[in-house]
Amino acid sequence: MLEIKNVTFEVDDEKRKIIDDLSLTIDDGKFVVITGPNGGGKSTLAKLIMGVNDITSGKLIFDGEDITDCNITERANKGISFAFQQPVHFKGIKVVDLLRLAAGEKISVAKACEYLSKVGLCAKDYVNREVNASLSGGELKRIEIATVLARGTKFAIFDEPEAGIDLWSFQNLIRVFENIRESINGTILIISHQERILNIADEIVVIENGKVKTKGPKDEILPTLLGTSAVDIGACSKLM
């Protein structure tokens, strides 16, 4: 269980509160989707959970342990993983190496291919490719999702996994996330604007102006969002 307790994140120079006294509890084994308007603080919150940025005040408790002062590596070792909105490039390293690094063991090429297939990549074409700028944005994004699958952590965060994924592959991606619970066997936190991803959530959290605007079971929250900018603008901008 992750408990976010009265977390505030201020930007140094302006004292602007990007995250403003936000509290939220994410229970084990839940599939939680965070949504809300652009600039609301979703990616910032994900980075605070992973430890990419340090919180200004408040506490993060993971499985009963205060992780507020832990760095990224310590949090990763405790079972938190993160797929960025903008995937990272690694020069000189092959896709299969990246998956092995993520898995923390020397997984077979067949196993690596299995993860790639799960994210809709034709595995044999990619497994030995170098992870560099020759890969398209969508390919990089899928490889990044595959690494999170390979890592198989307790608490996986995906920031807009749909970004840069074409409409044709999107259906497959939804299936990946539908099956992901079994593959990861843990808690999934996805930041998304996509109605189809919101639709497979157990719980939806809406973040606006650095605060939780609403949260609750999908069946309760989703109907209130349909037709609002939280879903529609994101869906249009991502799919067109």
Partner in contact with 187, chosen from Mg ion, ligand ATP, none, beta carbon below 5 to 8 Å by kind: none
Burial readout 164-201 (b: 16 or more C-beta within 10 A, e: otherwise): bbeeebbebbbebbeebbebbebbbbbbbbbbebbebb
Partner in contact with 192, chosen from ligand ATP, Mg ion, none, beta carbon below 5 to 8 Å by kind: none
For residues 25 and 9, give the distance between their C-alpha atoms in angstroms, rounded to a whole number. Answer: 18
**C-alpha Rg value of the chain to the nearest Å:** 17
| Identified binder of ligand ATP from the candidate list 11, 72, 233, 236, rule CB under 6 A | 11
Assign 48 to helix, strand or coil: helix
Partner in contact with 6, chosen from Mg ion, ligand ATP, none, beta carbon below 5 to 8 Å by kind: none
For residues 148 and 83, give the distance between their C-alpha atoms in angstroms, rounded to a whole number. Answer: 7
Sign of the four-CA dihedral 48, 53, 58, 63: positive
How far apart are CB 163 and ligand ATP at their closest, in Å? 9
- The verdict on 43 binding Mg ion (CB under 5 A) reads yes
For residues 180 and 113, give the distance between their C-alpha atoms in angstroms, rounded to a whole number. Answer: 16
How far apart are CB 114 and ligand ATP at their closest, in Å? 30
Looking at the Cβ atoms of 102 and 140, the one nearer to ligand ATP is 140
For residues 123 and 112, give the distance between their C-alpha atoms in angstroms, rounded to a whole number. Answer: 8
Best CA proximity match to 42, nearest among 208, 232, 222, 225: 208
How many Cβ atoms sit within 10 Å of the Cβ of residue 7?
22
How far apart are CB 216 and ligand ATP at their closest, in Å? 19
How far apart are CB 185 and Mg ion at their closest, in Å? 26
User: Binders of ligand ATP: how many residues, by CB under 6 A?
Assistant: 9
Q: What is the contact mask toward ligand ATP in residues 34 to 53, using x (rule: CB under 6 A)?
A: ----xxxxxxx---------
Looking at the Cβ atoms of 95 and 165, the one nearer to Mg ion is 165
Q: Which residue has the CB atom at the shortest distance from Mg ion?
A: 43
The amino acid occupying position 153 is: T
How far apart are CB 232 and ligand ATP at their closest, in Å? 13
Partner in contact with 39, chosen from ligand ATP, Mg ion, none, beta carbon below 5 to 8 Å by kind: ligand ATP
Looking at the Cβ atoms of 24 and 109, the one nearer to Mg ion is 24
Secondary structure element (H or E) that encloses residue 96, with its range: helix 95-103
Looking at the Cβ atoms of 83 and 150, the one nearer to ligand ATP is 83
How far apart are CB 158 and Mg ion at their closest, in Å? 11
Which positions touch ligand ATP (CB under 6 A)?
Answer: 11, 18, 38-44
Which positions touch Mg ion (CB under 5 A)?
Answer: 42-43
